[in-house]
């Protein structure tokens, strides 16, 4: 059999499989499981700061482990067999549960460095969104409704209906990006596509695109004349006295490496309206100024319909409209329930569906976390 005929048969086979899936009554479940499986393997490729796909992250100064005392660690000996079992079966590397300001569960895998060796992936977007709010608080940005051209003048737009910072925050910009730009920015380089050539369509429908948040990071670095790691250090890490971390400066949409305790403090901001870092009005906008895409797969819900997306804040868990969370590929999570004053941080990976001893075959991939939240 010639190679051309073989490839033709493979293509026809794939096409038939897709048709069967789309016609199947289990289409949603099949596509959701396939999405989780893809996320599991992609996460494994770039979870480490030493990944060949990433440039070396740049330091964010903070407290060292030696400087932390027992009070700061707030460690507890409380046992939770359900969370222990889930930790062991879910490829989790760091897990913290805090209720009413007190940590009631905390566990790490030996190689996690308290979570600092795990790429938080798109949770970095929430950091960028918070920094936009800080810039508004400081009067350096007028409003999230400003045209992006006001801050990135290389991007020219018609005066009527321009793309705004809010469009970037909510992925409703209609941006038409290229995969080569993702590869370049992950590797420590600038966009290959010049800013003057970036285009946006007129539909302005939700479409998750990493370059939206890359542009937001460029807005911030242009305004402050500082690299992203320095901004995070000055505006968040120092005021909150968080632990040492690092970030890939050239992305803006990905790749922070921080302890789970530091991520916990980020989640705490949403429970503290009197925090001195960013206005409570902005944090409320991050949660509530949202869209509900017709089709948008979310790891935490395990479904593609009914998910809400704000400024990288997710909602859509069944029967829990008050719960919201920050999510990154590989099921990196900061989950907040304001009613019970609970914050959960989870860092790690997603087991392959081929691992029959894992939690991948359960109805909800985060079921024990949901029980604790309520």
Lowest mean pLDDT among 159-163, 189-193, 257-261: 159-163
* pLDDT over 70 at 25, yes or no: no
Q: Kindly tell me the burial class for residue 228, based on how many C-beta atoms sit within 10 Å of its own C-beta (0-12, 13-18, 19 or more).
A: buried
Lowest mean pLDDT among 27-31, 38-42, 96-100: 27-31
Percent over 70 (pLDDT), the chain: 88
How many residues are there in the chain? Answer: 374
* pLDDT over 60 at 54, yes or no: yes
* pLDDT over 70 at 30, yes or no: no
Assess contact for 228 and 222: CB atoms under 8 A: no
* pLDDT over 80 at 198, yes or no: yes
Report pLDDT for 28: 60
Mean pLDDT, residues 166-195: 95
Q: What's the CA angle centered on 259, arms 253 and 263, to 5 degrees? A: 60
Euclidean distance between CA atoms 85 and 108, whole angstroms: 13
Lowest mean pLDDT among 106-110, 129-133, 146-150, 360-364: 360-364
Assess contact for 112 and 93: CB atoms under 8 A: yes
**What is the helix (H) or strand (E) element at residue 325, kind and residue range?**
strand 324-328
HEC readout, 86-104: HHHHCCEEEEEEEECCEEE
Report pLDDT for 347: 98
Report pLDDT for 358: 85
* pLDDT over 80 at 282, yes or no: yes
Assess contact for 181 and 170: CB atoms under 8 A: no
Mean pLDDT, residues 311-331: 95
* pLDDT over 50 at 21, yes or no: no
191 versus 24: which is more confidently predicted?
191
Report pLDDT for 356: 84
Mean pLDDT, residues 298-303: 93
* pLDDT over 50 at 16, yes or no: no
Mean pLDDT, residues 247-254: 97
Euclidean distance between CA atoms 313 and 69, whole angstroms: 32
Cα 206 to chain centroid distance, Å, stands at 16
Span 36-122+229-373 CATH architecture: 3-Layer(aba) Sandwich (3.40)
* pLDDT over 70 at 5, yes or no: no
Facing residues of 246 across strands?
59, 257
The whole-chain average pLDDT of the chain stands at 89
Q: Where residue 355 falls among pLDDT bands split at 50, 70, 90?
A: confident
Report pLDDT for 1: 54
Report pLDDT for 41: 81
Report pLDDT for 73: 45
């Amino acid at each position: 059999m010639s190679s051309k005929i073989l490839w033709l048969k493979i293509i026809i086979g794939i096409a038939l499989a897709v048709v069967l899936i789309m016609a199947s009554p289990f289409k949603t479940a099949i596509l959701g499981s396939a999405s989780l499986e893809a996320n599991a393997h992609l996460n494994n490729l770039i979870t480490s700061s030493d990944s060949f796909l990433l440039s070396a992250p740049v330091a964010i100064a903070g407290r060292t482990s030696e400087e932390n005392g027992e009070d700061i660690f707030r460690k507890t000996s409380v046992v939770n067999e359900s969370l222990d079992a889930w930790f062991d079966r879910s490829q989790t590397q760091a897990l913290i549960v805090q209720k009413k300001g007190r940590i009631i569960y905390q566990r790490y895998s030996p190689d996690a460095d308290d979570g600092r060796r795990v790429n938080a992936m798109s949770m970095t977007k929430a950091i960028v969104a918070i920094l936009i709010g800080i810039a508004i608080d400081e009067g350096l940005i007028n409003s999230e409704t400003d045209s992006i051209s006001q801050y990135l003048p290389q991007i020219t737009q018609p005066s009527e209906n321009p793309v705004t910072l809010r469009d970037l925050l909510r992925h409703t910009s209609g941006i038409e990006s290229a995969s080569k730009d993702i590869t370049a920015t992950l590797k420590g380089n600038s966009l290959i596509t010049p800013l003057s050539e970036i285009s946006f369509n007129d539909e302005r429908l939700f479409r998750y695109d990493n370059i939206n948040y890359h542009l937001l990071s460029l807005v911030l670095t242009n305004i402050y004349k500082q690299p992203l790691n320095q901004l995070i250090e000055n505006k968040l890490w120092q005021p909150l006295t968080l632990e040492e971390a690092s970030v890939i400066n050239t992305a803006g949409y990905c790749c922070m490496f921080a302890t789970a305790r530091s991520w916990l403090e980020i989640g705490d901001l949403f429970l503290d309206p009197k925090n001195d870092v960013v206005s409570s009005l902005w944090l409320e906008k991050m949660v509530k100024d949202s869209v509900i895409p017709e089709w948008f797969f979310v790891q935490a819900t395990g479904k593609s319909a009914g998910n809400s997306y704000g400024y990288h804040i997710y909602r859509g868990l069944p029967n829990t409209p008050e719960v919201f969370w920050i999510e990154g590929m590989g099921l990196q999570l900061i989950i907040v329930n304001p009613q019970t004053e609970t914050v959960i941080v989870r860092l790690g990976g997603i087991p392959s569906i081929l691992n029959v001893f894992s939690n991948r075959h359960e109805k909800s991939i985060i079921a024990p976390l949901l029980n604790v939240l309520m």
